[in-house]
Structure 1
């Protein structure tokens, strides 16, 4: 029998090394990335939707619609995982709209910028998501997860809904046992018969305090949509807002908490009222701006000659706020002009509520006599005036208001450094 060939103990190791080298030399398979189309119809217990081309930049001049359906008897919960759209304090350019149902439903919210809203919940098993972009600045868009939830699960984590009974209550999630959760968005849509109005009162109120209510807040709107031009007020802190009376038969209450501090929350009550009541039965505190400060005194006030008194210098110290800005919305309401001003500069802030979205800042002002002083949408002004309890600026016929020119900045900067 021939002698056995000597074994090489390193041979298996060399073969393994050779295989590893060959594997490393092969081109790696490209990583799999989900691609999203412009809109679509999706259904099931859960899933994801995203802007066209995400995570790349979404295309300009587009409108994409997603129709979401979860099993019958459940509701849709939508949670944004990522949001990056052109920022604007009124979300006028690129935005995502969320609606109840698939057609003609109530809008739950409109969102833009990079701040993700909390969980959004429909009042049925269908929801519509629509993203609109204009011709200019774009971002990476959004990605959101939808899932089905039992309606009875809403109490612990979700909130909102349609309220149609003649009276009722609404409260933040977890009320009154513990603080409301972070990252929640709730919308209550109160609908009365056409010939009635809605009276709204907050019994208890404790929402994270901030001078401008930028983080957690309650906003109340006339009508059934989140529309900045129809906003009655934006509230936070631990003082309940004054009682509110709707203009017509619909009110929308929006509550939003960010992802940081929380507080006790609130409970609110509403009731329907006949549209026409004797003037003696209307309490002076039924609206954010009491009728006594607008109706009777304003009639006499607005009959006076419309002329500002004094100079820029003499009005500076006597005014609660001094700003320069562009009028972006102007709506006549109860004989007054309610305007939103996109701020160019703030020289004296006082208690004026300033909202911030990205780099844009804006404030609300009420011109007590709608054409005195006359301000027009799209033009720039210097505005000096007083501040109401809800943080809105109040401008009277003799308040100092004038067109803003760049050369005025020098005088205003000098006044800013002046000690009143």
Structure 2
């Protein structure tokens, strides 16, 4: 009986514990897998295994659908991917809809963009990693919002009416917020063009518009070859007319200084019949659309002519930069130049990731002038229809040294 008496207190404790209401269990941490189909008013997506290091050589796609009549708002809570100034290796792409059509943005490193808003009730997020990974990936929250009641922090969307306006968040009451990304996609009927005009404009000033800026693109996606211009400062851009029936306007603010912002207006207009125009005035070596160098051209003696001053006004673009890639293609050389300073941009397509800028140039005759990877150059040249710099045998190229800086700054202020 002693055995039974010894068990009695333990039995009473167990019975009392069973009678107590159970404590609430902490919510389970979500498990993030590679891609998925997500529907509803809100939810989370994250890189595979987040917050652990994401796997290499992966391609993950998330398709988000919110109720009809609403738009998707995506907020990145955390992002830590391999950093590269062009986001070439590991990156997250965000698209309008469920296809690879209109890309809203591409992100890598640790820069966390502002709220991204789709034009309809669908959005697609895609993450790609290469063989070498670095970081813990990303985590983002999506939610449904009314198209016209998204709050001050949200902006962007699809504009299809014959005329309308677009503006930065908080306009005109106060400065636009930091860390915002806005994309407006304007679509006119097939036989019409889009005329764009900024009424008021005040975006953080920088000589190269590296921090806060507005970029305008022909067509429906962010594509440097289709970029019409990139703008900042307090002077409104000149009126813009699209080449086709679609325009994309991107506004980005970084995480530091802000300004008043802007309001712009657009309207559709009919295409005019093409008029007969006089042939354009060209410099000594006109920029050709074809990239195949002629034998005669490349057999010329490789020698630059003139000086920095005399070539400055003859060139479409002037920059100082470091050659980071060189790829021979046929008789030409395709190079990517990381920009140190740009003194004259013209229509040169400049790619930007964070605060790093780069441009692509083609040396039409690959041995003349000679560009070597890892070296710093002053490069002057013309710009092709694709937005890439064209370097001809007589283009002015020289090694960039600190002592050139003062002269180039003076030339920048020179009226050509």
TM-score (norm 1): 0.70
1:110-148 CA-partner distances (Å, limit 9, x unpaired): 222211111011223332211112223432110011122
Residue 197 to residue 417, structure 1, CA distance change in 2 (3 Å): closer
Classify 1:274/1:379 alpha carbon distance in 2 versus 1 (closer, same or farther; 3 Å). Answer: farther
- Pick from 376, 380, 384 the counterpart of residue 385 of structure 1: 380
Distance in 1 of aligned mates of 2:183 and 2:239: 19
Checking the alignment, whether the CA contact within 8 Å between 1:67 and 1:102 is kept in structure 2 is yes
Task: Deviation per CA, 1:23-63: give whole Å up to 9, x if none.
Answer: xxxxxx99964431111222333221100011121111211
Q: Which stretch has the larger CA shift, 179-188 or 84-93?
A: 84-93
CA 359–234 in structure 1, closer or farther in 2 if over 3 Å, else same: closer
Q: Runs of 5+ in structure 1 lacking a partner?
A: 1-28, 283-291, 330-338, 403-407
Are residues 1:296 and 2:262 paired? no
Say whether residues 1:76 and 2:64 are aligned partners.
no
2: CA distance, partners of 1:71 / 1:238: 40
1:270 aligned to 255, 259, 266, which one?
266
Aligned counterpart, 2:343 = 350
The residue that corresponds to 1:15 in the other structure is none
Q: Is 1:183–1:259's contact at 8 Å kept on the other side of the alignment?
A: yes
- In structure 2, how many angstroms separate the alpha carbons of the residues matched to 1:42 and 1:31? 20
Deviation at 1:153, TM superposition (A): 1.7
Cα shift at 1:213: 1.7
Cα separation, partners in 2 of 1:356 and 1:219, compared to 1, 3 Å: closer
Match of 1:52 among 38, 48, 51: 48
Give the conservation status (yes or no) of the 8 Å contact 1:110–1:226.
Answer: no
Separation (CA, whole Å) in 2 of partners of 1:182 and 1:115? 12
Note if contact 2:32-2:46 (Cα within 8 Å) is conserved in structure 1: yes
The answer to whether the Cα contact below 8 Å between 1:308 and 1:397 also exists between their aligned partners in 2 is no
Would the aligned equivalents of 2:199 and 2:265 in 1 still touch at CA under 8 Å? Answer: yes
Residues 253/340 of structure 1: CA separation in 2 closer, same or farther (3 Å cut):
farther
- The answer as to whether partners of 1:59 and 1:138 remain within 8 angstroms in 2 is no
Measured in 1, the distance between the counterparts of 2:73 and 2:42 equals: 9
Moved more, 243-252 or 74-83: 243-252
Compute the RMSD of aligned alpha carbons.
Answer: 4.3
**Equivalent residues in 2 for 1:390-401 (5 A)?**
400-401=395-396
2:129, 2:368 → 1: CA distance? 30
1:131 & 1:84 partners in 2: Cα distance? 12
Deviations 1:354-383 (A, max 9, x none): 766369541477x9xx9699999x985955
Alpha-carbon distance, 1:397 to partner: 5.9
- For residues 44 and 375 of structure 1, do their structure 2 counterparts lie closer, same or farther at Cα, with a shift above 3 Å needed? farther
Q: CA deviation at 1:181?
A: 1.9
Once the two structures are TM-superposed, the CA of residue 237 in structure 1 deviates from its matched residue by 0.9
Aligned counterpart for 1:258 among listed residues 250, 254, 260: 254
| DSSP 3-state at the match of 1:118 | coil
For residue 102 of structure 1, report the CA deviation from its aligned partner: 3.0
SS of the residue corresponding to residue 229 of structure 1 reads: helix
Deviation (angstroms), 1:214: 2.1
Give the aligned partner of residue 183 of structure 1: 179
**Equivalents in 2 of 1:41, 1:385: separation in Å?**
49
Q: Please name the residue that 1:325 is paired with.
A: 323
Which one of the candidate residues 34, 39, 44 is aligned to 2:35?
39
Q: For residues 127-182 of structure 1, what are the alpha-carbon distances to aligned partners after superposition, in whole Å with 9 as ceiling and x for unaligned?
A: 22111122234321100111222223225331111122233221112222222222
> For residues 180 and 30 of structure 1, do their structure 2 counterparts lie closer, same or farther at Cα, with a shift above 3 Å needed?
closer
SS at match of 2:152: helix
The equivalences for 1:6-405 within 5 A come to 33-103=29-99, 106-154=102-150, 156-277=152-273, 279=275, 296-298=280-282, 302=286, 311=304, 314-315=307-308, 319=312, 321-325=319-323, 341-343=336-338, 346=340, 349-350=342-343, 357=353, 361-363=357-359, 382=377, 384-385=379-380, 400-401=395-396
1:374/1:145 Cα in 2 relative to 1: closer, same or farther (>3 Å)? farther
CA distance in 2, matches of 1:373, 1:162: 44
Cα distance between partner residues in 2 of 1:417 and 1:219? 28
Which deviates the most, 213-222 or 163-172?
A: 163-172
The aligned length equals 356
The alpha-carbon deviation at position 76 of structure 1 amounts to 1.7
Distance change in 2, residues 1:303/1:202 (3 Å): closer
d(CA) in 2 for partners of 1:303, 1:123: 39
